[in-house]
Chains A and B, each alone.
Chain A
Amino acid sequence: MQFDPFVIPFNIGLYFILIYVVTRSVIWFHDLSKPDKLRLQRGFFGLAFGLSLKEIFMESLIHRKILKTNLRLGYMHMSLAFGWFLLILFGTIEADIFGAKHLNAPYKAIFFRFFNPDHGRMGFEAAYGFLMDLILAFILSGLVLAVTKRFYSKVVGMKKTTRLKITDKIALTSLWLIFPSRLLAESFTSGAYGTGSFLTGSLGSWLATFLPAQQMAYPFWWLYSISLGTFFILLPITRYMHIPTELFLIFMRNSGIKTGDQAGTYSEVQTYSCSSCGICIDACQLNFSAGITNIQSAYLMKAIRNNDDVSGIADNCLMCGRCDQNCPVGIELSPLRMIQRRGGEAVYDIRNIYKGYFRSRQTIVSEKAIGSLNYNFLPEPDQKKADILYFAGCMTHLTPTIKNSMIKILDASGVKYNFMDEQGGVCCGRPLMLAGLDKEARELINFNSQMIWKSGAHTFVTSCPICYKVFKESYYLDVEVLHHTQFIKRLIDEGSVKMNFLHKKVVYHSPCELGRGSGIFDEPKDVLNHVSRLEKCNFEDENSLCCGGSLANMKISSQNKKKIAFDAVNELTKNTPDILATACPLCKKTFSAVTETRVADISEIVAEALIIKPLKKISGSNITSIKELANI
Chain B
Amino acid sequence: MDKFGFTISEGRQIDYESNDRRIAEYIFDREPSFRLCIECGGCSATCTTGNFTDFSLRELNILIKRGENEQVREKLKKCMLCGKCNLVCPRGVNTRNIVVLAKKAFQKSDEYAI
Contact = CB atoms under 8 A, between A and B. Distances in A.
Contacts of B48: 394, 424-427
A558 B94 contact: yes
Interface stretch (B6-14, B19-27, B59-67, B76-84): B76-84
Interface string A234-266: 000000000000000000000000000000000
Nearest to B81: A431
Interface of A: 345, 367-368, 370-371, 374-375, 377-379, 394-395, 397-398, 423-427, 431-432, 435, 437, 444, 549, 551, 554-559, 586, 589
Contact of B83 (A375, A377, A431): A431
Interface in B30-52: 33, 46, 48-49, 51-52
29 contacts: A368-B107, A368-B114, A371-B114, A374-B77, A375-B78, A377-B53, A377-B78, A378-B52, A394-B82, A394-B84, A395-B83, A395-B84, A398-B84, A425-B48, A426-B52, A431-B80, A431-B82, A432-B80, A435-B81, A435-B96, A435-B100, A437-B81, A549-B87, A551-B83, A554-B94, A554-B100, A555-B97, A556-B94, A557-B94
Contacts of B96: 431, 435, 551, 554
B72 interface: no
Contacts of A559: 92
Contacts of B77: 370, 374
Given A379-B52, A431-B82, A437-B81, A554 B107 contact: no
Interface residues of B, number: 26
Contacts of B113: 368
Contacts of A435: 81, 96, 100
Contacts of B53: 377
Given A394-B48, A551-B96, A375 B80 contact: yes
A322 B51 CA distance: 36
Nearest to A432: B81
Contacts of A378: 52
Given A367-B107, A379-B52, A554-B96, A427 B81 contact: yes
Nearest to B97: A554
A368 B108 CA distance: 10
A557 B98 CA distance: 12
A589 B113 CA distance: 38
A379 B82 CA distance: 18
A347 to B, nearest CB: 13
A429 B87 CA distance: 18
B107 A377 contact: no
Nearest 4 interchain pairs by C-beta? A558-B92, A427-B80, A427-B82, A377-B53
A345 B82 CA distance: 22
A424 B107 contact: no
A375 B75 CA distance: 10
A593 to B, nearest CB: 10
What does DSSP make chain A's interface, helix, strand, loop or mixed? loop
A273 B78 CA distance: 40
A379 B88 CA distance: 26
Contacts of A375: 49, 78, 80
Contact of A398 (B51, B87, B107): B87
Interface string B102-114: 0010010000011
Nearest to A428: B82
Contacts of A549: 87
Contact of A444 (B33, B80, B114): B80
A435 B79 CA distance: 12
B90 to A, nearest CB: 10
Nearest to A424: B51
Contacts of B92: 557-559
A345 to B, nearest CB: 8
A426 B50 CA distance: 11
A367 B51 CA distance: 28
A555 B96 CA distance: 9
B100 A397 contact: no
Given A377-B53, A554-B97, A557-B92, A397 B84 contact: yes
Given A368-B107, A368-B113, A444-B80, 4 more contacts: A423-B51, A431-B96, A432-B81, A556-B94
B36 to A, nearest CB: 9
Contacts of B100: 435, 554
A435 B53 CA distance: 23
A442 B113 CA distance: 22
Contacts of B81: 427, 431-432, 435, 437
B78 to A, nearest CB: 7
Most buried by B among A395, A432, A554, A589: A554
Contacts of B107: 367-368
A367 B113 CA distance: 11
Contacts of B78: 374-375, 377
A424 B84 CA distance: 12
Contacts of A427: 48, 80-82
B64 to A, nearest CB: 17
B33 A557 contact: yes
Contacts of B84: 394-395, 397-398
Contacts of A586: 87
Contacts of B82: 394, 427, 431
A455 to B, nearest CB: 19
A557 B89 CA distance: 13
Nearest to B89: A558
